[in-house]
Amino acid sequence: MRRVRRVRRVRRAWLWRWRRNPLRRRSDAVEAWVLLGAWTLTVLCGVLAGVTVAGSVERGMARERVEWRPTTARLTEDAVGTSAVPAAAGGSQVWAKVGWTAPDGSPRAGQARVRPGTAEGTPVTVWIDRTGRLVTPPASPDQARVRSALVGTLAGLGAAAVPLACGRAVRSRLESRRLDRWDVDWAHFDPLWGHRTG
């Protein structure tokens, strides 16, 4: 029974701006509508932006998996160097110049990561796009889902922050006006009491 009363009190506290009440001012109703609109827009903008961006990122990565393909390139120099970077499969790799043939048959050259000490002329696998440019290996479907979820979440939070900040700014302005109105009312009624307070 106490829990039911407590729930009713919470509902009354939340909805006091919406109920008819002789103490409710017009600014209270305006503030209630501003809060409702700001929270509604915050949720809608956040969800819509997040879902849209996540879908776009995932479609882009799926297109990369279809369009990008591995090809064989040959080292045009010996792979030596001290600028080693960790390799995904273990060990270290260095940048070396490679040459390959683009889909249109034209020769291309660039740099790819290979194991140190690889001799000139050794075939290595590189990834290229439709135009024959070097690209990184495309993300797997699982990686694409994780990346699109992260990017979508960030985009959703960023989009949701705009109406939330606007709502807070409007509410702050309403609060400032309400306090100014209190000062005016206080200055009007204080002399009627016959003494000064404060």
The model's confidence at residue 84, banded by pLDDT at 50, 70 and 90, is very low
Residue 143 clears pLDDT 70, i.e. is over it = yes
Beta bridge partners of 70: 127
Q: Which is higher by pLDDT, 87 or 151?
A: 151
Neighbouring-strand partners of residue 107 = 101
- Does 196 have pLDDT greater than 80? no
| Residue burial 74-108, b: 16+ Cβ < 10 Å; e: rest | ebeebbeeeeeeeeeeeeebbebbbebeeeeeeeb
Would you state the pLDDT for residue 72? 92
Supply the mean pLDDT for the chain.
Answer: 82
